Amino acid sequence: MQFEITKQDFLKGLQSVQSAISQKNTLPILANLLLETDKNMIKLIATDLDIGISARVPATIREEGAITIPAKKFLDIIKELPEEDVITISLKKNNMLSIDGGKAHIKIIGLPKDEFPQIPEFKNKETFAIPQVILKEMLSVTSFAVSKDETRYVLNGVLFIAHKDKIQIVATDGRRLAVATKILAEKTVIDEKVIIPAKTVQELGRMLADTGDVTIAFSENQVFFNLGEIQIISRLIEGDFPNFEQVIPKEKEEKVKINRENLLAATRRANLFTNPESLAVKLDIAKGKLTVSKNAPYVGEVKEELGIEYNGKSLSVGFNPAYLIDVLRSLSDQEIFFEVDDADKPGVIRKGAEYTYVVLPMQVV
């Protein structure tokens, strides 16, 4: 194997796959990445057996071949090479990889390709495509609600539902619920309901662009995302996701209409006065105004009044400010509609039929 490649392109490809490598794996080969020629491209593949990421990078191929190399060490080497236009990579005898950049000449020992796990292929599978920017937005407004409690493993990912011309992404940790819904431009024959792990969601969100489509396919226990030059294959979480629809309150007639950024800023300031023993921030809602406040004994207090559009009954309710901050900073709307019915009833933020966020109240201490 021998090829020439620009440092900038190579680094970009290496950084794309790096997060699929776990240093804690019991299999030493999983600390390596697979480097192989593919026509006029170099293909980089990394996996921890739960998630696999591959990237294709343009290169001038002089001789075909493949090798696996220690991922972190190889990335560090490429980073430290001189800022030359072209790096030359050559595979020598005994799995020795030669790296030449500028006046630097480096050798690193690899392992044969046949020791590397086989990455599943999704040939002849039904697929559907959606704009990357749409999936990126849907993940952005839901994934923060994924549970981090490993004992509730089915909540450690997002529920992904694809049915005909509709897709939904749902996340919950038991105290809040986020649901994003989109209607596709074209109907598909896909009918799937799967749970995608949080790590996969994080990597996918990081790689999705604002242009182009992402093609999605499913197998019995895996999901495949094709972003063009980058592909992600992930195991799915097995189990039954809770019936999320039954916990969404019916829409209220009276809603609080408020500037999103103003509420976000006020909630952040109130959050400064919370502590593990007293998390809840108080919202006092009345006609024309909403007051955000927090009183912290032996520390101080904060109180801020915001203008709103609201003609319902006056009420007071407490919420964990982190749960409000997460959703408010993920949305892009200038104004939002916030439904609150009582001190012991959940609060709801809706965006037509496309988005619903439900958050449980807290007792104000």
Predicted confidence (pLDDT) per residue in 60-84, tens digit: 999 999 999 999 999 999 999 998 7
**281 belongs to a structural domain:** yes
The CA-atom distances, in angstroms, between 122 and each of 118, 126, 222, 260 are: 13, 9, 10, 42
pLDDT at 276: 87
Computed over every residue of the chain, the mean pLDDT equals 94
Question: Cβ–Cβ contacts within 10 Å for residue 90, how many?
Answer: 17
Indicate whether 236 pLDDT > 90. yes
**What whole-number percentage of the chain has pLDDT above 70?**
99
What does the pLDDT average to over 94-120?
Answer: 93
pLDDT at 83: 85
pLDDT at 131: 95
DSSP state at residue 80: H
CA dist., res. 270 & res. 291, Å (int):
11
Tell me which H or E stretch contains 351: strand 347-351
Please report how the helices 198-207 and 132-140 are oriented relative to each other, as an axis angle in degrees rounded to 10. 130
**What whole-number percentage of the chain has pLDDT above 90?**
86
The amino acid occupying position 205 is G
Indicate whether 167 pLDDT > 90. yes
Report how many domains make up the chain.
3
Same domain as 109, residue 26: yes
Indicate whether 123 pLDDT > 90. no
Q: Which CATH number do you get for residue 36?
A: 3.10.150.10
**197 belongs to a structural domain:** yes
Same domain as 291, residue 182: no
Indicate whether 25 pLDDT > 80. no
State the alpha helices, DSSP H only, in 129-279: 132-140, 198-207, 260-271
**233 belongs to a structural domain:** yes
pLDDT at 133: 96
Residue from 8, 65, 79 nearest 35 by CA: 65
Indicate whether 331 pLDDT > 80. yes
Same domain as 278, residue 240: no
Task: Report residue 190's pLDDT band, with 50, 70 and 90 as the boundaries.
Answer: confident
Same domain as 355, residue 254: yes
Of 202, 219, 246, the one marking the end of a domain is 246
Same domain as 239, residue 132: yes
The residues with which 54 forms a beta bridge, in sequence order, are 45, 231
**121 belongs to a structural domain:** no
Task: Report residue 228's pLDDT band, with 50, 70 and 90 as the boundaries.
Answer: very high
Task: Report residue 242's pLDDT band, with 50, 70 and 90 as the boundaries.
Answer: very high
Indicate whether 134 pLDDT > 90. yes
Q: Is the dihedral of CA 315, 321, 322, 324 positive or negative?
A: positive
Number of H helices, E strands in the chain: 6, 25
Same domain as 352, residue 264: yes
Same domain as 256, residue 213: no
Burial letters for 34-51: b for 16+ Cβ neighbours within 10 Å, e otherwise? bbbbeeebbbbbbbbeeb
**364 belongs to a structural domain:** no
Of 69, 88, 115, the one marking the end of a domain is 115
- Could you list the residue range(s) of the whole structural domain that residue 37 is in? 2-115
Indicate whether 34 pLDDT > 80. yes
Same domain as 203, residue 308: no
Same domain as 144, residue 80: no
Same domain as 266, residue 234: no
Within 13 Å and on the Cβ side, how many CA atoms surround 328?
21
Same domain as 276, residue 347: yes
Of 115, 138, 160, the one marking the end of a domain is 115
What does the pLDDT average to over 349-364?
Answer: 95
Report whether 142 contacts 158 (CB < 8 A). Answer: yes
**122 belongs to a structural domain:** no
Task: Report residue 85's pLDDT band, with 50, 70 and 90 as the boundaries.
Answer: confident
**365 belongs to a structural domain:** no
Same domain as 153, residue 94: no
pLDDT at 166: 94
